[in-house]
Amino acid sequence: MLPAPRGAPMPSEFTVFLVADALLAKGERPSLRKMREALPTGGSPREVCKHLRAWRKKRGYDPKLEPTDMSKAMKAAGLALATDLWKQAKREATQAFSREREAAEATAADDKQDREHLLGMVETLQAENAALAVRAKAAENEAARVQARLAKVENQLDRFRAEEFWDRVMQEIAELLTERGPLTPTEILPELRAVTLRGATLHKEPLTPGTLKKKMDVRVFHGRYFEPRDEGRYARRAG
């Protein structure tokens, strides 16, 4: 028996019938052992036995009725027929195996192409993800810079508003000193308007005598609004 190609298909019923007929034509009993030896692809005992039983039933084969003697001419004819049948069965098995192999190779080629396509997609997505990560980091850094600039501008705006507020307070005190004469910060504080006292709560410095003295001393230093007098009093600066 020729060794079956790796991955060869099981023998078909048609092939088993051909080989059994060939063995019988050669004057040999188509037993399971001889069938497997003669089959081009071998085959499992179970499959061969199943097809052999079908052959016996279809041919009405009975081993007891086999002729015990055959003429040389009949044997030669039977051998020739068996040889032709075996060659035909071998060709069919080889063709079937070739078709199976070609189909497997085509499937493998398709799988390889699909795998390469998927790998390409993965690489593309990884590159896009990396680019997105870079852009996200850049956006995060830009957001941090904008936030810092915004905080700086807001801080400057708060200082500007505070300066405007305290300048209005100083103007109010200057008008009060024009009417009342020199006063201490402690004497000035109760005379301020309620709206001024409420406005001070919006800023970070409390409106106290100490705060008033500090703000008024700054104006004195710059020659604005006030001039110092005895006993901690302040008067309206002339001019």
DSSP 202-221: TSSS---HHHHHHHHHHHHH
In whole angstroms, what is the distance from residue 44 CA to residue 11 CA?
9
Of 56-70, 84-98, 103-117, 177-191, least confident by mean pLDDT is 56-70
Residues, the chain:
239
**In a domain? residue 101:** yes
Asked whether residue 205 is assigned to any structural domain, the reply reads: yes
pLDDT for 3 beyond 70? no
- On whether both 85 and 170 belong to a single domain, the answer is no
Q: Which of 107, 142, 168 is the last residue of a domain?
A: 107
Give the pLDDT confidence score for residue 65 in this predicted structure.
54
Q: Is 123 a domain residue?
A: no
**pLDDT of 59 strictly over 90:** no
Amino acid at 114: D
Same domain, 161 and 103: no
Q: How many domains does the chain have?
A: 2
**Residue 92 maps to a domain:** yes
As a whole number of Å, the CA-based R_g of the chain is 56
Q: Are residues 97 and 171 in the same domain?
A: no
- For 12, 39, 170, the CA distances from 164, given in Å and listed in that order, are 104, 110, 10
Ordered alpha helix ranges (H), the chain: 13-25, 32-38, 45-59, 72-180, 185-188, 194-200, 209-221
Chain centroid to CA 102: 36
Range of the domain at 212: 154-236
* Closest residue by Cα to residue 177 from 228, 119, 126: 228
CA distances from residue 174 to 169, 171, 214 in whole angstroms, order as listed? 9, 5, 15
Q: How far apart, in Å, are the Cα atoms of 97 and each of 4, 8, 88, 174, 177?
A: 10, 6, 14, 113, 117
Q: Residue 20 CB: number of other CB atoms within 10 A?
A: 28
pLDDT band at 221 (very low <50, low <70, confident <90, very high): very high
Judgement on whether residues 167 and 85 belong to the same structural domain of the protein: no
Say yes or no: 74 and 159 in one domain: no
Are residue 17 and residue 103 in the same domain, yes or no?
yes
* 6 vs 214, more confident: 214
Please check whether residue 7 lies inside any domain of the structure.
no
26 and 101 assigned to the same domain: yes
More confident residue, 63 or 73: 63
pLDDT score of 239: 66
**Last residue of one domain, picked from the residues 107, 123, 146:** 107
% pLDDT > 70, the chain: 87
Looking at the fold, whether 93 and 177 belong to one and the same domain comes out as no
Per-residue pLDDT, 32: 81
Give the domain CATH number at 224. 1.10.10
The verdict on 158 and 98 lying in the same domain is no
Residue 44 in domain: yes
Q: Please give the average per-residue pLDDT across 70-75, as a whole number.
A: 58
Please give the Cα distance from 50 to 15 (Å, whole number): 13
> What is the predicted pLDDT for the residue at 207?
85
Indicate whether 68 belongs to any domain.
Answer: yes
Residue 64: band (very low, low, confident or very high) from pLDDT cuts 50, 70, 90: low
Where is the domain boundary, 107, 129, 163? 107
Element (H, E) at 228: strand 226-228
- Classify residue 6: in a domain, yes or no: no
Task: Out of 24-33, 179-188, 229-238, pick the least confident.
Answer: 24-33
Residue 62: pLDDT above 80? no
- The residue written with tokens 């100490």 in the block is 210
Amino acid at 168: R
Query: From the centroid of its chain, how far is CA 210?
Result: 65
Residue-level pLDDT at 186: 95
Mean pLDDT of the chain: 83
Reduce the DSSP state of residue 6 to 3 states and report it. coil
- Looking at the structure, tell me whether residues 99 and 21 fall in a common domain: yes
Residue whose C-alpha is closest to residue 183's, from 212, 219, 206: 212
d(CA 23, CA 66): 12
Average pLDDT estimate for 206-224: 92
